[in-house]
Amino acid sequence: MNEYDTLVEEIETDHISVIETERITEFGVDGLWKNTDGEDYIFINPKLTQKEKVSIINEEYGHYLTSVGIQMDYDDSQTAQSERRARMIAGGRIVTLDDVVNSLGGDSMTLDDVAREMDVQPWILESAFDYFRKTFGEKFWHKGFMFDLTDGVKISEEYAWA
């Protein structure tokens, strides 16, 4: 079973039906969570790559966990806040601190470099850092690496001495 199938199985245990349909693109999106008559659905574009599907399904699952109703007015501040929360949940579900540490190499890497090394979309990595910032604070240590998320992302390998 691949990562996508495992994720779909996990989400369906929460009584959410995952439906692949190209019709979702008619709404200008590749994924959508919807509650109809007390039933939850996540619709996803079947033409996406597996990695894209994993990212989009995690974001839509984030909407299921945090949103009330469908919000598609992207100029509305509540919609923007809902999108940010859903993306932060997706990033936190897909990327771990260990993943970040294991992908680091060389003296200076951009977020795009790390995202490419991890084989995730850059927005997922950025959302993961938002999740880490909210969960661990702006500065924290993980496995000998200092994460400074105060102004952007700075990760340095240092060792704290007791």
Residue 128 in domain: no
104 belongs to a structural domain: no
Rounded Cα distance, 71 and 68, in Å:
8
Residue 133 lies in a domain: no
Residue 77, domain extent: 3-94
Whether 127 is covered by a domain: the verdict is no
Residue 146 covered by a domain? no
Query: What CATH number is given to the structural domain containing 84?
Result: 3.30.2010
What is the per-residue pLDDT for 29? 92
Give the per-residue pLDDT at 72. Answer: 53
- Return d(Cα 52, Cα 49) in angstroms, integer: 5
CB 43 within 8 A of CB 24: yes
If one counts the domains in the chain, the total is 1
User: Of 51, 49, 60, whose CA–CA distance to 19 is shortest?
Assistant: 60
pTM: 0.71
Say what the pLDDT of residue 53 is. 93
- Give the pLDDT score at 138: 95
Residue-level pLDDT at 83: 77
Is 82 a member of any domain?
Answer: yes
pLDDT of 159 reads 57
CB–CB of 126/111 below 8 Å?
yes
Residue 140 located in a structural domain: no
Residues of the chain with pLDDT below 70 are 68-79, 106-108, 159-162
